[in-house]
Chain A
Amino acid sequence: MTEPITDFTTVVPFWKPRVTPVELDKASEEQLEAMKVTPSDTGVGAYVLVLAHDPQTLKERTPLFNGIMYSHGGLSRTETELGAVAASLVNRCIYCAAVHSNRYNQLAKDETVIEGIFGAGEAADLDPRQKAIFNFATKLSECPSEAGEADVRQLMDAGLGMDEIFDLVLTASLFGWANRLMHVLGDPIPRES
């Protein structure tokens, strides 16, 4: 059996569920609607098919996820990905960290930030704005949260507006949700297997 990946990577792994996914041809109308698929759709991933066991929540979460990650205005796409990476590191979700660090690198066209974070965490050599974002998202992701007013001030001092800070709060919080599904309900497996 292939061992799960335990080190952070920017190469997106396969996700192997620990719970039996819903079988697409046996899915109920409600499950199909929540997955936003037609019965002839063959590209539905294991993750969505696992979450289809709870169609009520899945139906709301998908537009919520898109609304936070891909909305216009507020925090840039690149910085949103940095917040997602910070949360995924705290929660050690290898899969989410890979997807979002990979996307960060593509958007930023710079791999040094993620390399620094994977290597040194909060001690990484980041500019003040990146540092403030990474610091706040990391602290908010702890349980209980360790973020304080001073961390919000650090964001403001680094030039973030309240609309950007709100987007960062939403992103880090959203990965408090996503990591608790992805990391708990399945294993990241190397792609070549």
Chain B
Amino acid sequence: MDDIFRSIVVEAAGIAADHPLAAVIAGRSDVMQLTQASHDAALKPEPPGGLSHAERAALACRMARLSDEEMLARHFEAMIPESGGWQAIADPAFDGTDDERTRAILRHTDLVTVDPKRAAEADIAALKSAGILEPDIVRLSELIAFVGYQVRVVKGLRLMAEAA
């Protein structure tokens, strides 16, 4: 990622290299590069641990939808493989039905995305009881937290572009 104007957050905010804000964004090109690198680390890490790339993309799409961030939702949706039934996870109305692991992950993802102040010790305990290993609890937390960052950078940039 050399051209920050082709990075996900800048493109999703609709800001091109000839925009009046281009110089402001270029002034933080290091941060924009690291934002892109963090996206790749949260969505496509190798090895992925207990959260596959497909599951991560579907969860990220779900979080973008919960955050009313349609451009990013489209970006993550395009990363979900067509086979494997992962699209269901991206639908905020889907609760995981009878799969205990998926139910626990979706419940936690929704809580921490929408209302993080309510997250408590019992919520981490619930993930553990559903059989999710501690390293995967941290991987899931980083994914949720990264998307929480990314949706706000896009929203903020878009508002700046409107006001500029």
Contact = CB atoms under 8 A, between A and B. Distances in A.
Nearest to A62: B34
Contacts of A67: 28, 30-31, 34
A80 interface: no
A45 interface: no
B102 interface: no
Contact of A63 (B25, B34, B66, B68): B34
B27 A74 contact: yes
B116 A56 contact: no
State which size class the interface on B falls in: 35 or more
A143 B113 contact: yes
A149 B163 contact: yes
B34 A56 contact: no
Interface in B49-75: 49, 66-69
Contacts of A152: 159-160, 162-163
Interface stretch (A109-117, A120-128, A161-169): A161-169
Interface in B88-138: 112-117, 119, 121, 123-125, 134-135, 137-138
A181 B114 contact: no
Interface in A78-121: 90-93
The residue among A59, A74, A93, A143 with the most chain B CB atoms within 10 A of its own CB is A143
A166 B148 contact: no
A53 to B, nearest CB: 4
Contacts of B42: 56-57
Contact of A173 (B45, B124, B156): B156
B102 to A, nearest CB: 19
A173 B138 contact: no
A96 B116 CA distance: 13
Interface residues of A, number: 57
Contact of A176 (B69, B149, B159): B149
Given A60-B34, A60-B38, A185-B141, A177 B159 contact: no
B16 interface: no
Interface in B131-164: 134-135, 137-139, 141-142, 144-146, 148-153, 155-157, 159-160, 162-164
B78 interface: no
Nearest to B164: A162
B31 A18 contact: no
Contact of B153 (A57, A143, A148, A169): A169
Nearest to A177: B149
A177 B148 contact: yes
Given A149-B159, A166-B156, A181-B141, 16 more contacts: A18-B121, A53-B137, A60-B34, A64-B38, A67-B31, A71-B30, A90-B117, A145-B68, A145-B155, A162-B164, A166-B160, A172-B156, A173-B150, A173-B153, A176-B151, A181-B142
Closest 8 interchain pairs by CB?
A169-B156, A92-B117, A173-B152, A53-B138, A180-B145, A144-B68, A177-B149, A64-B34
